[in-house]
Chain A
Amino acid sequence: MARDLGILIIAVLVLAATCESAVLSPVSESHRSAALELFSPADGSYGSLEETYEALKTFKVLGIEKKHDIRTSSCASVADTLKSTSSALKDFVDALRVNSILKCELNSEAVRGTQSRFKDSLNGANSLIDFYYSIGGLVLLKEQMSEVDVNLGDADRIFRSIKALGQSDGRWRLSSNNPESSNNAAGIALEALAGVISLATPQIGNSLITTLKNDILKLFDGIERYDDGTYYFDEKHVGARGHQSPLSSSASVVRGIAAVAAATSETLNLPGEKILGLAKFFLGVGVPGSAQDLYHQIDALSYLENIRQVLWKLTFFRALYNKAHPDLKIYSSDLDFVAALVRVSTVLGSPAPTLSVRLMQIFVSGSKDASVIDQELKFDAVSGMHVLETLPKNIDVGSYVFSFEVIFHNPEHKKTYVSGGRTRVLVHITGVIKIDNAEIVILDGDRGSVETQKKLKLPGDNTVALSANHLQKLRLSFDLSTPFGNAFKPHQAFLKLRHENGIDHIFLVGNSGKKFEIILDFLGLVEKFFYLSGRYNIQLTVGDADMENSFLQPLGFVELDLPDAPEKATRPPPQAVDPYSRYGPKAEITHIFRAPEKRPAKELSLTFLGLILVPFFGFLAGLVQLGANLKSFPKSTVPSTFAILFHLGIAAVLALYALFWLKLDLFTTLKALGLLGMFLMFVGHKTLSHLASTSSKLKSV
């Protein structure tokens, strides 16, 4: 047994950082491949300049070298837009944004033209969107062309008129005649105000900036929160621009705050917990499926890094240790090599500053008891990982919660980084569980003496064939122990008996220490078994999340001989019908026709026909032989005509009968026969009366 278990596999698996939600990994390869997939230009260019900017920005943040060559076409489109006088303000801004990344060579005349457009529209602006685009355009111009004069003389007035659209809860309205305020508009307003601050020639007064900072803090008071510490800006208002998802409005707010932070070069003292919560929200989206969502996510994360570097949670890597050792004692020292690897990075996956990670506490999963450990993880500069080289001695196969803490070496970093305090990580330590002394026994009911006993090999092929009656008992027992010889209680230890007709009976196998045992007393189970005798297949399932060798094993069968069911016994439940057999063609049916009556052979009928015709021919022969006289046939004209007609009529009836047989139906025949009958009556009467008169004449003569 020991040799079989020689391979000890200990895997350190890691669950959620918060134990509840799924692990949120920082921006990774999957984002990059998704970005390339989602932002793939159709025939060398994107649909609009806005889309081009979103693609370029996402690629830039993710550090993707441009795979799609769109520079030429995009630059041409930028130049076109800037030259045209009919383009909307938004298009100018998008063009300048694209230019800020691509650095196209532009005609300075055209640029100057746009500058006056922006200034004009700024003077006539009354809605937030107008302010946003004209100020945004000027800021972009300032960044890209140093020679253009973009300074605002009346910055204070513009600042106040934008500020006038703000609400007391930190949200903004899009224009003065639209009463609904939104977080999305707040983000836009903050960006516009940041632009005003950076463009103002006489600096904006400090009092205005302070009120702006207060507005931001108020905005954070209205942030929504999930139970797991995720924060986001929700959007209830469905405005003219359609429904803004929480992702886009949160991104908008983050962009605005980042712009303000950059413009004022002051610390905003934003609550670290909420910044971390926002980072969690953006990462929690996973890899978004639409290009715009991906842009919002990546863009917002990049700004979050600028506001305050958010240290993303500790990411663990699966560490496998695999070594053969027959001697149990060595395992405990072997465990010392198991390394828990911890990587600390920022949300965008860039390396963290110098810091140390300490393992503070270990909880046994599911209980409150914690062993306090204060152990520093060793930093491996090559891989950039923090390595837990030794595990505490009392760690065995099982689930634990490790609590880690990040400590910055440089206290200054505390101001610029958010790490989120202690991180609790669920760690599964798995191993091969040893199974010994497995046996299945049939016991005699009264004395408890062993009737049959079979050793089992677990896991392995077993085909035991047992038989028992309702006065006997079945006992299954086995021992489970961890590689360190401790008792192990798996989550799943089921014994299943399945009757031939498909009814399952499940039993939990209980334990006391290492020993697992179940005794099935059939006398008490007859009712549960629905008094069904016959073959029951035995199946044992032992499994646990921390058990490397979980198994489902058929053990064989037991032939049960149970008493007959009393009348009131419950019937077994119906079993699910196999879906394949429920449908399908039915057996064909052909109609069986009534058998025809039995008839004599044709030859026999013909013979009899001949026999029947014999007298007729005999008669004809007789007539010819004897010589028939026609003496009494009337001689005079009239009676002879009647007599001939009468005879012809009789012949016609015969012909009619022949026709009836051959062709006609009963009704036609009867009709014709009626007419013929009347005719015959008439001519027959005439003939007979003539014959009568001649014979009376003869008598009288």
Chain B
Amino acid sequence: MIKISLCLFLVSVPFFAIICSAFSEDRPTDRRVLVLLDDFAIKSSHSIFFKSLETRGFDLDFKLADDPKLALQRYGQYLYDAVVLFAPTIDRFGGSVDAASLLEFVDSGHDLILAADTSASDLIREIAVECGVDFDEDPAAMVIDHTNHAVSETEGHHTLIASDDFINSEVILGSRKIEDPVLFKGIGHSINPSSSLVTKVLSASPAAYSANPKSKLSSPPTLIGSAISLVSVVQARNNARILISGSLTVFSDRFFRSGVQKAGSTTKHEKCGNEQFFVELSKWVFHERGHLKAVNVRHNKVGETDEPSMYRIKDDLEYSVEVYEWSGSSWEPYVAGDMQVQFYMMSPYVLKTLSSNEKGLYYTSFKVPDVYGVFQFKVEYQRLGYTALSLSKQIPVRPFRHNEYERFIPAALPYYGASFSMHSFYVL
């Protein structure tokens, strides 16, 4: 018995050591990535993408999606920080994994890259719907664009699209502007207009539509124009990030290496933008960019350094917070001009933009309102592509004490004079 437990202990020690080195508050970048494939050929045909992940320090674990030994967690601990789901045709996962467990994985703050494709299975569509994205229901439909397709010798249905309608966000797509159009061949999706978590990253042109290229249209297509999203990202409230692409081929070496020429244009790009676009996007999804943390939230009265337990109305106070962004390897100061603090009780009484010292420190000072009660310092920072910062610190505000009112009111001098002269009379 002792032997068995000793064995268990010895086995579990390195296991917990792995868990400890995983995703944490201090190092938000994912480390261990599970790659689920339809076919091991994808590992080779999409190797540039995988190699870029590996060179960035990710530990990729390639598995067939129907591997019977597949498991996301063991003993209640997740074995991976992120999943790359490159298995568009899979009907059912192997092992203990199913759509619900995958969504639970995301719900617990882990990341997901999902690539669908023509003939995407119901399982993949179901996961996408849960993420706020609806793929075209027609299984034979593809995104067709007769005016913005890529010139190709081998593709005649105009389903190979050269799109350059990117989202304008440096944090999602990197600081270097993507000059070359991205090649796309696959299915389109629409995003739920009421969802504030899903964002279109690559949209189709206004002339595009989603239909079966081989059959005549009998009714207007449901997805049309720039409402079609080709690639979308989701940032959940718990900062889990999801990338959803309507095509698996866009990640392939063939597309990464391919050149592109837009129809009707004479400029021939030596290389299409796919590699830059998807590598940058994967950096964002795996929290190598746009992950913020706030530390050293301080507030004090002007001229003091200690944090008081309470403020009096009309006190002058100073508030400061330090914000850092994770760069993939270290925390760098985050510089922006739109960080705001609220002094909040039921509704904001004061909302002020913080000044920045360009080194991550944000500060401001203001006068406490002449309303007493329990207030909060609130920083609600939500920007496109950045993780949400939500700080709040409660602080009571009291009215003047009896001896804190004004003492020598000039207007009252006659009264003082009267009383003192009366008293003096009396003394005399």
Complex alpha-carbon distance, A271 and B370, angstroms: 93
A568 at the B interface (CB under 8 A): no
Find chain A residues with CB under 8 A from B253 CB: 286-289
Among A649-664, those with CB < 8 Å from B are: 650-651, 653-654, 657-658, 661-662
Complex alpha-carbon distance, A552 and B227, angstroms: 16
Find chain B residues with CB under 8 A from A653 CB: 423
Q: Which of B48, B147, B383, B417 contacts A551 (CB 8 A)?
A: B147
Find chain B residues with CB under 8 A from A545 CB: 144, 146, 156-158, 213
B245 at the A interface (CB under 8 A): no
Q: Which of A15, A245, A602, A661 contacts B44 (CB 8 A)?
A: A245
User: Is there contact, CB below 8 Å, between A605 and B410?
Assistant: yes
A16 at the B interface (CB under 8 A): yes
Query: For chain A, which range describes its interface: under 10, 10 to 19, 20 to 34, or 35 or more residues?
Result: 35 or more
Complex alpha-carbon distance, A599 and B412, angstroms: 9
Find chain B residues with CB under 8 A from A30 CB: 257
User: Is there contact, CB below 8 Å, between B47 and A15?
Assistant: no
User: Is there contact, CB below 8 Å, between B48 and A577?
Assistant: no
Query: For chain B, which range describes its interface: under 10, 10 to 19, 20 to 34, or 35 or more residues?
Result: 35 or more
User: Is there contact, CB below 8 Å, between B216 and A489?
Assistant: yes
- Stretch of A119-127, A402-410, A581-589 with 4 or more beta carbons under 8 angstroms from chain B: A581-589
Find chain A residues with CB under 8 A from B416 CB: 609, 661
User: Is there contact, CB below 8 Å, between A576 and B191?
Assistant: yes
User: Is there contact, CB below 8 Å, between A285 and B44?
Assistant: yes
User: Is there contact, CB below 8 Å, between B252 and A286?
Assistant: yes
Find chain A residues with CB under 8 A from B144 CB: 491-492, 543, 545
Among B407-428, those with CB < 8 Å from A are: 407, 409-414, 416-421, 423-428
User: Is there contact, CB below 8 Å, between B417 and A651?
Assistant: no
User: Is there contact, CB below 8 Å, between B369 and A290?
Assistant: no
Complex alpha-carbon distance, A666 and B158, angstroms: 90
User: Is there contact, CB below 8 Å, between A399 and B350?
Assistant: no
B307 at the A interface (CB under 8 A): no
| Contacts A576-B227, A612-B418; A583 near B384 (Cβ below 8 A) | yes
User: Is there contact, CB below 8 Å, between A593 and B225?
Assistant: no
B308 at the A interface (CB under 8 A): no
User: Is there contact, CB below 8 Å, between B221 and A506?
Assistant: yes
In the complex, per-residue mask of B218-240: 1 if CB is within 8 Å of any chain A CB, else 0: 11110011010000000000000
User: Is there contact, CB below 8 Å, between B41 and A285?
Assistant: yes
A448 at the B interface (CB under 8 A): no
Q: Which of B158, B371, B384, B424 contacts A579 (CB 8 A)?
A: B384
Complex alpha-carbon distance, A552 and B205, angstroms: 10
Among A514-571, those with CB < 8 Å from B are: 539, 541, 543-545, 547, 550-552
A615 at the B interface (CB under 8 A): yes
Complex alpha-carbon distance, A602 and B408, angstroms: 12
A75 at the B interface (CB under 8 A): no
Find chain B residues with CB under 8 A from A593 CB: 314, 367, 369-370
A574 at the B interface (CB under 8 A): yes
B265 at the A interface (CB under 8 A): no
User: Is there contact, CB below 8 Å, between B370 and A594?
Assistant: yes
A678 at the B interface (CB under 8 A): no
User: Is there contact, CB below 8 Å, between A289 and B200?
Assistant: no
User: Is there contact, CB below 8 Å, between B158 and A582?
Assistant: no
User: Is there contact, CB below 8 Å, between A654 and B420?
Assistant: yes
A420 at the B interface (CB under 8 A): no
Q: Which of B41, B48, B196, B370 contacts A247 (CB 8 A)?
A: B41
Complex alpha-carbon distance, A338 and B367, angstroms: 82
B349 at the A interface (CB under 8 A): yes
User: Is there contact, CB below 8 Å, between A573 and B370?
Assistant: no
User: Is there contact, CB below 8 Å, between A285 and B146?
Assistant: no
Complex alpha-carbon distance, A348 and B275, angstroms: 28
Find chain A residues with CB under 8 A from B310 CB: none
Complex alpha-carbon distance, A316 and B153, angstroms: 9
Complex alpha-carbon distance, A661 and B376, angstroms: 38
User: Is there contact, CB below 8 Å, between A588 and B402?
Assistant: no
User: Is there contact, CB below 8 Å, between A588 and B209?
Assistant: no
User: Is there contact, CB below 8 Å, between B153 and A14?
Assistant: yes
User: Is there contact, CB below 8 Å, between A665 and B403?
Assistant: yes
A103 at the B interface (CB under 8 A): no
Find chain A residues with CB under 8 A from B44 CB: 245, 247, 285, 288-290, 293
User: Is there contact, CB below 8 Å, between B314 and A605?
Assistant: no
User: Is there contact, CB below 8 Å, between B41 and A246?
Assistant: yes
| Contacts A574-B194, A583-B382; A544 near B410 (Cβ below 8 A) | no
Complex alpha-carbon distance, A593 and B368, angstroms: 10
What are 12 residue pairs bridging A and B, where the CB atoms are less than 8 Å apart in the complex? Answer: A288-B47, A426-B156, A491-B216, A492-B209, A541-B209, A545-B144, A580-B384, A591-B369, A599-B409, A616-B421, A619-B425, A661-B407
Please give 12 more A-B residue pairs, beta carbons under 8 A apart, in addition to A492-B144, A593-B367: A22-B154, A289-B44, A293-B47, A541-B209, A547-B146, A577-B193, A577-B196, A590-B352, A599-B411, A608-B413, A608-B414, A620-B428
Ranked nearest first, the 9 interchain pairs of A and B with the lowest CB-CB distance are A289-B47, A543-B146, A550-B146, A591-B369, A428-B156, A589-B351, A608-B414, A552-B207, A616-B421
Name B residues whose Cβ lies closer than 8 Å to a Cβ of A: 40-41, 43-48, 50-51, 144-147, 153-158, 167-168, 191, 193-194, 196, 199-200, 206-207, 209, 211, 213-221, 224-225, 227, 252-254, 257, 314, 338, 340, 342-343, 348-353, 366-367, 369-371, 382-384, 402-403, 407, 409-414, 416-421, 423-428
